[in-house]
Structure 1
Amino acid sequence: MAKRYKHVLVGLDGSEASEKAFKRAVEMVLEHEAETLTLAHVVDTRSFSAYDWYTAMAEKAQEYGDELLTDFAHKAENAGVPHVNKVMELGSPKVTLAKSIAPDVKADLIVCGATGMNAVDRVFMGSVSEHTTRYARCDVLIVRNDQ
């Protein structure tokens, strides 16, 4: 029998790629009759520098993340997903998704888009999806942008 996923995690950053990943994650949850879908957004704090600016930007970024997660949680519930969790953390998205959030929520599948919003990171340090594939301790599904 094929593996059945119970805890699906999807990383969201507001990009078109993450929206496609979300749709595929919902399909996987319904297909596998998974117990939970966890929606994760990581506020990338690496680009914040001065304290005052950091505080203001972090607050705005967290507000955006909360709105993003709430919107996608409603979409998942409307699609028939029985149990949706929302997780937001501060840090580097590529490190936090695979090494912190996935183990915390006991994910057995991580779904992410092939590319996200941060082009600079992709050029110099590799993408979130590449890092997730390399360091996650569970299966990873990368959703191509051109599908």
Structure 2
Amino acid sequence: MSVVLATDGKPHTSKAVDYALEYARLHREALYVVYVISPRHEENREGTLGEAKRHMEEIRGRAAEQGVETTTLLETGSPAESAIAVAERVGASAVIVGTSGKTVLDRVLIGSVSEHVVRNAPCTVIVVK
């Protein structure tokens, strides 16, 4: 089995990273780290790619220290849809996402990645606050 971690490298995902590493280690599952670049960040694609690669390498290093097999995936598109697609593709037992703590109005106006994943993922979803 495997677990999927959806991350964007922002501070609110750091607890989700910690949780995913511990979850994968305790359950002896492979960890798939999905970093999704939103199309709205295309204007700064090179900077975003560099940031994404650094973030994923940091997670890969931490995972290696804990004996967790890790695959990193860099995708472009909808963060929620990408996380769901990877979970389906790898037969994940769980998807782990962080939450930014946005207000109800923010979720209504721009949507919530974690909420969309909770409603549509084919497996257990763990939202880390």
Query: Which TM-score tier does this pair reach, normalised by the shorter chain?
Result: 0.7 to 0.9
Give, as a single letter, the amino acid of the residue that structure 1 aligns with 2:11: E
How far did 1:16 drift?
A: 2.4
* Residues 18-50 of structure 1: CA deviation (Å, up to 9, x unaligned): 11011111111122122x1011100011354xx
Partners of 2:21 and 2:109 in 1: how far apart?
A: 31
Name the structure 2 match of 1:37.
31
The alignment partner of 1:17 has SS state of helix
3-state SS, counterpart of residue 95 of structure 1: helix
Counterpart code for 1:110 = V
Give the alignment's TM-score, normalised by structure 1: 0.77
Distance 1:123 1:47, change over 3 A: farther
Larger radius of gyration: 1
Structure 2: stretches of 5+ with no match in the other structure? none
Q: TM-score, normalised by structure 2?
A: 0.86
Aligned in 2, Cα 1:80/1:125: closer, same or farther, shift over 3 Å? same
- Separation in 1, partners of 2:82, 2:18: 22
Matched residues, number: 127
State the distance in 1 between where 2:107 and 2:10 align. 14
For structure 1, list consecutive stretches of 5 or more residues without a partner in the other structure.
Answer: 1-5, 49-53
Give the partner amino acid of 1:67.
R
RMSD: 2.1
Q: How does 1:1-147 map to 2 (within 5 A)?
A: 6-34=1-29, 36-48=30-42, 54=43, 57-81=44-68, 83-98=69-84, 100-115=85-100, 122-144=107-129
Match of residue 51 from structure 1: none
Q: Which has the higher helix share?
A: 2
